[in-house]
Amino acid sequence: MRIIPAIDIIDGKCVRLTKGDYSTKRIYNENPLEVAKEFEAAGIQYLHVVDLDGAKASQIINYKVLEQIASKTTLKIDFGGGLKSDKDLEIAFNSGANQVTGGSIAVKNPAVFESWIAKFGAKKIILGADFYPDTFGGKIAINGWQEESSLALLPFINKYQEKGIQYVICTDISKDGMLQGPSFDIYKDILSVRAQSRTNDNLLTVPKEETIDLKLIASGGISTFNELPKLAEIGCEGVIIGKAIYENKISLQQLQKFIVDGL
C-alpha cells in the first residue's frame, strides 16, 4: 500500500483544514517545499497536493508551488483543487504533476472528465469521490464539499470504472481532519468482490451484487499508525495522511519503516 502524505496549499503555504472548512485553517509551514523534502528524506515517494485556493476559484492557482516541489524533489505528485478545463490540466502536468484529481468536474461535466481520461490516459487521471454520510446521506459532495450532488458513492465510482478509471481517492468528509480513524467499513464495501447494499441507512445505494476492482486510495480520518496495516489488509492501494503527520500522531520514522518492511 502506497503512503501518500498530503500538502494542502492556501496563499502558497502548507495548511490543514477540518472537514474542508476554510475557517478552521491552520498553517503548519510557510514553505511547502521544506515539508516535501522532509517526506522525501524519510523514503516517501508519493505526495498528494491540493490547491485550496484553486478549489475556491474553480481554476488552478498554486501551480508555482507544484512546480517548485516537482523540480526540487523526486516525489511523484498527484494534484487537485479547482481543475475544470483542459488548460488547467496542461498547466498542472507542465508544472510537474504525475497525476491529477477531478471530483466536482466528474459530477457537473462528465463529458469533460471523460475526455480527460481519453486524452491523458487512465493512469494520469484520478477520480475524486468525496462524500459526507452524516449530512449528505452518502451522496457525492462537490464545490469544495459545500454542495450535495444526487449521486450515491458506489454507483458514481462504478460509472467511471466503466469509462476506464483505475484510481479513486475516496474521502469521508465527516472524518477529514478529525483524527478519529478512517471509514474502514465504507472501504470494505467498495472493495468487496460482492458489495452488499446497505438497507438500514441507505448509505450506499447499489445493486446487491457488484464486482469492484480498482486502485482505491483511502483519505480522511487517519489518526494512528496501527490503522495503516488494517487499510492494507482491506485492499486499499494507497492512503493519504495529513493532520496525523503534522500533529505528530504518526512519525515519519514509522512511515519509513512501513514502506521498507510493510509493517
Residue spans per domain, the chain: 2-261
Q: Which one is catalytic: 8, 78, 176, 189?
A: 8
Share of residues in the chain with pLDDT > 70 (%): 89
Task: Mean pLDDT check: name the lowest of 110-119, 131-140, 226-235.
Answer: 131-140
Catalytic residue at 130?
yes
Band of pLDDT at residue 135, cut at 50, 70 and 90: low
Band of pLDDT at residue 21, cut at 50, 70 and 90: confident
Q: Which one is catalytic: 130, 172, 176, 189?
A: 130
pLDDT one-digit tens code per residue, 80-134:
998 999 999 999 999 999 999 999 999 999 999 999 999 999 999 999 999 978 6
pLDDT at 195 over 60: no
Q: What is the pTM of this model?
A: 0.89
pLDDT at 242 over 70: yes
pLDDT at 202 over 60: no
Average pLDDT over residues 15-25: 88
All three cell numbers of 166, joined, read 483505475
pLDDT at 222 over 80: yes
pLDDT at 249 over 80: yes
Q: What is the pLDDT of residue 209?
A: 45
Residue 76 burial by Cβ neighbours in a 10 Å radius (0-12, 13-18, 19+)? middle
CATH class of 2-261: alpha beta
pLDDT at 45 over 60: yes
Catalytic residue at 176?
no
Task: Mean pLDDT check: name the lowest of 8-12, 16-20, 45-49, 152-156.
Answer: 16-20
Question: What is the Cβ-side half-sphere exposure of residue 8, based on CA atoms within 13 angstroms?
Answer: 26
Q: Using alpha carbons only, give the angle 99, 103, 106 rounded to the nearest 5 degrees.
A: 100
- DSSP H stretches of helix in 95-149: 104-108, 110-120, 133-136
